[in-house]
Amino acid sequence: MAGLYVHIPFCNAKCLYCDFFSGNQLYLIDSYVDALCVEMELRSKYVGGESIQTIYFGGGTPSLLSYEQFDKIFSTINFHFQVSGNAEITVDCNPENITSEYVDGLIRLGVNRISLGVQFLSDEKLVRFNRKHSSILIMNALEIISQSLLTNLSVDLIYNVPDLSDRFLEESLEKLFEYDIKHISAYSLTISKNSQLFWKIKKGEFNENSEDINISQYNLIHNFLISKGFEHYEVSNYAKRDFISQHNASYWDQVTYLGIGVSAHSYNRFSRQWNHTNSKKYIRDLLGISPFVAFEIEHLTVNQLFNEYVILKLRTSRGLSFNYVKINFNDEIFLFFTRTINTLNQQNHFVIQGDSIVPKESDLMLADYLAKILMI
């Protein structure tokens, strides 16, 4: 089983908080799609013949691609890879791109999951953060998707936004849940050094919320979603039964995945590699006489593999496994791991159930802190 990630680095405009690789060179899209198809041909053996269980189109704004462009990509995927009949196939979409015809077209191509970038329902905040849709367009997109044959809808939300009250956040959740949403990704507003927001805060144009507000809104969202029957399966992710994001879960379970496109990352259990971040060069390299992919690679040490296991699994409700560490790492690492876990357990962290070390709800909020203690 393997995953396939396809990066679409185009946006109409950059959101203030975004630090993903993207740009507004929309005139490059046709050539970029051609380049993606060549890269898939060149790198199809990376997954070692494993069947593709998840496909994820992220960005950027994948919903800027036309039906015909998606059709070309899917034809190439199906030609070069063995795609499982029940594969989860997700496209990140922005509300302003959603029409009935567009959603129906994606479904015809095999897309069975849409992740809708709502972020917040405040028109004033949507404008201020440079989002290109309104709350009306959000509700319109939700209505269109709910009337379609698609049954797996995920929504992205951002909380801990300055001047958005707990009351407004709760009212927004109530509005959203007039629709049949199966999955929610809820992210605290992050101030990345590569974002425009970081520099606006430096200039005093934005103020950060206090940690108390962050915790209050985290708890508000958590309690609301749990009351709606959602499972909190990862720090920022909630899902109804059987609707966990299989693609994201494959990252946390350290399953092999191939990243296609500029800046995309790949992982094969032994190494990690990432494509260079220049869309025009990416296109030139792959559409030239001798096509190639420019990337960096890092071969992972045993210690790095252990640290990644700890970092990723501590973010999930499934937690860690004594047997996994014993089987996959040396005696020295296993001894360090068991001693540290026992110390943390005495400090009232985790629930140890036989082989499983399950984080408490409070531990998920401390995942990064606990991971640092457990890392070598």
> What distance, in Å, lies between the first and last C-alpha atoms of the chain?
29
Quickly state the pLDDT bin for 62 (edges 50, 70, 90): very high
pLDDT at 194 over 80: no
Q: Which residue has the tokens 């992710």?
A: 237
Least confident of 19-23, 131-135, 177-181: 19-23
How confident is the model over 288-329, as pLDDT tens digits? 999 999 999 999 999 999 999 999 999 999 999 999 999 999
Query: Cβ contacts of residue 12 below 8 Å, gap of 6+?
Result: 24, 26, 61, 64, 132
Query: Cβ contacts of residue 301 below 8 Å, gap of 6+?
Result: none
Least confident of 17-26, 77-86, 234-243, 291-300: 17-26
Q: What is the pLDDT of residue 17?
A: 59
- DSSP track, 131-166: -S--HHHHHHHHHHHHHSS---EEEEEEES-TT--H
Rounded Cα–Cα distance for residues 44 and 250 (Å): 19
How confident is the model over 347-373, as pLDDT tens digits? 999 999 889 999 999 899 889 899 999
Q: Which residue has the higher pLDDT, 164 or 281?
A: 281
Hey, is 28 helix, strand or coil? helix
**Is the distance from CB of 50 to CB of 1 less than 8 angstroms?**
yes
Q: What is the pLDDT of residue 56?
A: 98
pLDDT at 18 over 60: no
Q: Are strands 271-275 and 83-93 parallel, antiparallel or unpaired?
A: unpaired
Length of the chain as a residue count? 376
Least confident of 28-42, 139-153, 181-195, 281-295: 181-195
Rounded Cα–Cα distance for residues 370 and 315 (Å): 10
Quickly state the pLDDT bin for 80 (edges 50, 70, 90): very high
Rounded Cα–Cα distance for residues 89 and 46 (Å): 19
Determine the Cα angle at 2 with ends 118 and 238, to 5°: 35
Q: What is the pLDDT of residue 59?
A: 84
**Average pLDDT, integer, range 63-81:** 97
Q: What is the pLDDT of residue 170?
A: 92
Q: What is the pLDDT of residue 21?
A: 59
pLDDT at 8 over 70: yes
Which amino acid is present at 56? Y
Quickly state the pLDDT bin for 240 (edges 50, 70, 90): very high
Residue 54's DSSP bridge partners are 3, 88
Quickly state the pLDDT bin for 128 (edges 50, 70, 90): confident
Closest CA to 9 of 1, 270, 371, 19: 19
pLDDT at 209 over 70: no
- DSSP track, 56-123: EEEES-GGGS-HHHHHHHHHHHHHHS-EEEEEEEEEEE-GGG--HHHHHHHHHTT--EEEEEEE-S-H
How confident is the model over 137-177, as pLDDT tens digits? 999 999 999 999 999 999 999 888 877 888 988 998 999 99
How confident is the model over 326-352, as pLDDT tens digits? 999 999 999 999 999 999 999 999 999
Strands (E), the chain: 2-8, 52-59, 83-93, 113-119, 153-159, 183-188, 231-234, 237-239, 257-260, 265-267, 271-275, 295-299, 320-321, 351-353, 356-358
Rounded Cα–Cα distance for residues 278 and 235 (Å): 32
H-helix or E-strand containing 199? helix 196-202
Determine the Cα angle at 78 with ends 72 and 82, to 5°: 160
pLDDT at 188 over 60: yes
Which amino acid is present at 215? I
Q: What is the pLDDT of residue 195?
A: 60
Q: Write down the pTM of the prediction.
A: 0.93
Q: What is the pLDDT of residue 214?
A: 85
Rounded Cα–Cα distance for residues 373 and 363 (Å): 13
